């Protein structure tokens, strides 16, 4: 076999990079003459950078599922419906966690294979919570109570209200209260309901760590394990890295708190998929590698061992994986199985970016709740209209 060099792009964190870069050797050993090279980009760029920037450079790209609307409207990614048989598609679907498989299906195409699964959950320092004599909050009111008690003794709870996470939390709270926002939603946040959602987020930020509006999940977890002042975190994407044995305090993770009668259901689905560039000069080998990465066998075994957070249900329910990750999989599976898939239409991502900026500004007191809601509803409707025009042209 002639030498083939395959290049991939993923995101810059051990969870996103290590299982790919370190795991490539096994595929290379099984396919002599093939070399896998992985590059990485920042977490924010991962969630927002345009695919066309990478499709000509890389053979495969790790993407977040909101990119599928763009992918369906542009000729940059391989459509897996043209590659996988119906039986293979069913196998992937039955082994996916929650909506991870279906989140990459859009407009009669499948634009990535599930690689990584996540949603907004809760986490806590078991030692600090035990010292307070408190239990893990199960409801939103429990969270606020814990926040006030922590502050009274010089400690904190935290949430992630950095723009990308702020818009995610608004969508999570809305869905948990019975208003899941999807492509066809007529009004992003109806007036009275929207005021309730934003009011709840204000209440959470008001009792949370003063740096909450600048924190993403990684920053929140780093603060939790490198100090002793943050007891609990609500609404941050789960990371098995912080539940694994390490030379630092080990976090425990839990289901998201409930706002109403739906339990933990409705948190915004995250995670990643492995997409193959339609412009790859080594199409067949790139496809083979992506299938190998997303296979049950690899996901359940070496992918988890090397630090990955799999998209495979078999991997999530494997007791050895759960023990390795301090009960992370078992303790958050219900939230992930009932997570909400946000809109994915072409044009959603620019709206998502600016909406996050405005929500964080509102939480800081820079703009009013009323002006925020007006902007969200007006601009969401405009983005939907542009997507419809593009789909019809």
Q: What is the pLDDT of residues 108-117, one digit of tens each?
A: 999 999 999 9
- Beta carbons within 8 Å of 191's beta carbon, 6+ residues apart: 373
Predicted local confidence at residue 45, as pLDDT: 67
- Same domain membership, residue 108 and residue 90: yes
- Same domain membership, residue 107 and residue 94: yes
Average pLDDT, the chain: 96
- Same domain membership, residue 70 and residue 35: yes
Q: Which ranges of the chain would DSSP assign to H, the alpha helix? A: 14-21, 24-30, 43-48, 52-55, 68-73, 86-94, 126-132, 140-152, 163-176, 191-207, 217-225, 283-294, 296-298, 304-305, 313-316, 319-324, 328-337, 348-363, 369-392
Instruction: Give the residue from 317, 337, 357 where a domain finishes.
Output: 337
- Same domain membership, residue 82 and residue 42: yes
Which pLDDT band, with edges at 50, 70 and 90, does 53 fall under?
confident
From 224, 211, 235, 230, select the one nearest 153 (Cα to Cα).
Answer: 230
- Same domain membership, residue 332 and residue 231: no
| pLDDT exceeds 60 at position 47 | no
- Same domain membership, residue 78 and residue 158: no
pLDDT tens-digit series, residues 329-338: 999 999 999 9
pTM: 0.95
- Same domain membership, residue 258 and residue 197: yes
Range of lowest pLDDT (36-45, 46-55, 199-208, 270-279): 46-55
Please state the domain count of the chain: 2
Predicted local confidence at residue 270, as pLDDT: 96
| pLDDT exceeds 80 at position 393 | no
Q: pLDDT > 90: what percent of the chain?
A: 94
pLDDT tens-digit series, residues 86-107: 999 999 999 999 999 999 999 9
- CB burial readout 202-215, b (16+ within 10 A) else e: eebbebbbeebbeb
pLDDT tens-digit series, residues 14-37: 999 999 999 999 999 999 999 999
Predicted local confidence at residue 391, as pLDDT: 79
- Same domain membership, residue 390 and residue 367: yes
Predicted local confidence at residue 390, as pLDDT: 79
């Amino acid at each position: 076999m002639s030498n083939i060099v395959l290049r991939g792009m993923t995101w810059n964190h051990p969870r996103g990079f290590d299982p790919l870069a370190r795991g490539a050797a096994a595929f290379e050993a099984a396919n002599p003459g093939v070399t896998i090279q992985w590059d990485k980009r920042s977490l924010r760029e991962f969630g927002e950078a345009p695919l066309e920037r990478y499709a000509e450079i890389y053979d495969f790209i790790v993407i977040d599922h909101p990119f599928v609307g763009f992918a369906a409207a542009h000729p940059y990614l391989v459509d897996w419906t043209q590659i996988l048989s119906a039986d293979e598609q069913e196998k992937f679907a039955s082994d996916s966690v929650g909506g991870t498989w279906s989140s990459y299906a859009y407009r009669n195409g499948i634009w990535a294979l599930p690689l990584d699964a996540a949603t907004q959950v809760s986490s806590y320092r078991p030692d600090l919570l035990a010292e307070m004599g408190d239990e893990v909050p199960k409801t939103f009111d429990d969270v606020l109570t814990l926040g006030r008690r922590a502050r009274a003794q010089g400690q904190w709870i935290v949430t992630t209200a950095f723009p990308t996470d702020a818009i995610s939390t608004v969508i999570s709270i809305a869905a948990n209260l019975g208003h899941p926002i999807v492509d066809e939603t007529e009004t992003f946040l109806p007036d009275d309901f929207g005021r309730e959602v934003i009011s709840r987020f204000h209440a959470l930020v008001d009792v949370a760590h003063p740096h909450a509006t600048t924190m993403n999940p990684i920053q929140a977890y780093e603060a939790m394990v490198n100090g002793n002042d943050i007891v609990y975190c609500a609404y941050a994407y789960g990371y098995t890295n912080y539940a694994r044995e390490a030379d630092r305090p080990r976090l425990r993770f839990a289901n998201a708190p409930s706002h109403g009668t739906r339990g933990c259901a409705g948190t915004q689905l995250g995670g990643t998929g492995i997409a193959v560039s339609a412009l790859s000069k080594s199409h067949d080998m790139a496809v083979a590698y992506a299938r190998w990465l997303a296979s049950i066998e690899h996901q359940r075994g070496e992918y988890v061992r090397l630090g990955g957070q799999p998209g495979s249900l078999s991997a999530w329910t494997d007791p050895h994986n759960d023990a390795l990750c301090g009960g992370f999989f078992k303790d958050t599976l219900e939230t992930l199985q009932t997570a909400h898939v946000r809109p994915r239409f072409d044009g959603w991502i620019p709206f998502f970016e600016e909406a996050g900026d405005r929500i964080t500004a509102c939480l800081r007191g820079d703009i009013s709740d009323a002006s925020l809601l007006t902007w969200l509803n007006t601009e969401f409707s405009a983005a939907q209209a542009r997507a419809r025009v593009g789909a019809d042209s």
